[in-house]
Amino acid sequence: MITPATPQIWAWASMQPLVLVIQACRSNGDRILSKIRTSKVFELLKWFQGKQRSLLPPIKNPNGGLTATHPHHKAKNLAKQFFPPIANPNVTLQPLGIKRMPKRAFQEITVDKIANAIKSTSNKSSPGAFGSNYRVLKWAFWCNTTLFAKLFNLCLNIGYHPTSLQNCVIAPIPKPCQQDMSLPKNYQPIALLETLSKLLEKVITTQLTFEAGKFALIPQSQFGGRDITSCTDAGICMVHNIKSHWKSNHRVSLITLDVSGYFNNVDHNRLIYTLDRMGYSNQICNWMKSYLSHRTAQFRIDGHLCPSIALPTVGIPQGSPLSPILFSLYSTPYSLLLKTTMHSHLHTLTTSPY
């Protein structure tokens, strides 16, 4: 029987599911807040804000032409900006101040080295094209640790990097404080590599960095890509030198240079020549040559994984653990040149001569 109170009852009943959801969310939030540690308090911002997804706007052709609206066409326009034709393929293979070092013996990759590398990884890191993250890789590693050591040592001994691991997913990230987001130059390419490949790269990075420090392969003015140094150290050293000159009544001029697209323009032949001249083992040099050759990439745009494209014969992946140390070794001639004429401090992509 319908009564005058029936509409109110229906309204009350229809609101009950929403009320229960709100109560459950509040209860869950209270539970999380009661267990959160002080060191993790800022992670609540990510949980509170949720995930925001927005589509890339139409992307203009950097060389002029039609503006792309389809994800595949956007990828082509971005690729023209990120990977332009090689301007000067004939890079010199002269020492340029790098001393010839005796060849050092290859250090076998042990299970302990792999374990130390995999412990420093985050399960939240973005996976590559295969979709496998570090959580899966850790499970596989601890199931058979010796298999990983045999695989990695085999790759180094025969100088080969598996083709299946040479593909990367490129996520175009908007640069901050840019007005026209339809211009490809206002995006930064981030390479998402396969986790198995990154694990091997981490192990080799540790070896390259250790030898660079032990045998003083990198000038002291280079702060990036070295052990126990940071951008803060470069700033402190720069301020100290400036004040020292002021105290001696000298005038000081500071020039900061931002190297644009440095990683994408590293010449492979010059890099291998540098590693060989610095005394790195033949196993590392041969593997590095294979690692840098025949690389491919797929853009992930608007949730779509675009077709694979062949990368130029120059450049190193920006998302690779190897990139910082390779940058430091590759730019050694530049550091040596500045050292003879002026004070300079280098950190990854920024140079400050004065």
Q: What is the pLDDT of residues 7-66, one digit of tens each?
A: 777 777 778 888 888 888 888 878 877 777 777 777 766 666 666 677 889 999 988 878
The whole-angstrom separation of Cα 93 and Cα 121 is 36
Q: Is the pTM of this model over 0.75?
A: yes
Tokens of 16: 């009950």
Q: Do 165 and 197 contact (CB within 8 A), yes or no?
A: yes
The whole-angstrom separation of Cα 86 and Cα 312 is 8
**Beta strands 167-174; 296-301: pairing state:** parallel
List, for residues 237-295, the tens digit of each pLDDT value. 888 888 998 999 988 888 777 777 777 788 899 999 999 999 999 999 999 999 999 99
Q: Do 78 and 299 contact (CB within 8 A), yes or no?
A: yes
Contacts of 188 (CB under 8 A, 6+ apart): 172, 173, 174, 175
φ, ψ for residue 187, nearest 5 deg: -125, 150
User: Angle at the Cα of 110 (from 328 to 118), degrees rounded to 5?
Assistant: 65
Q: Do 187 and 209 contact (CB within 8 A), yes or no?
A: no
Amino acid at 338: L
List, for residues 120-171, the tens digit of each pLDDT value. 898 888 887 788 889 999 999 999 999 999 999 999 999 999 999 999 999 9
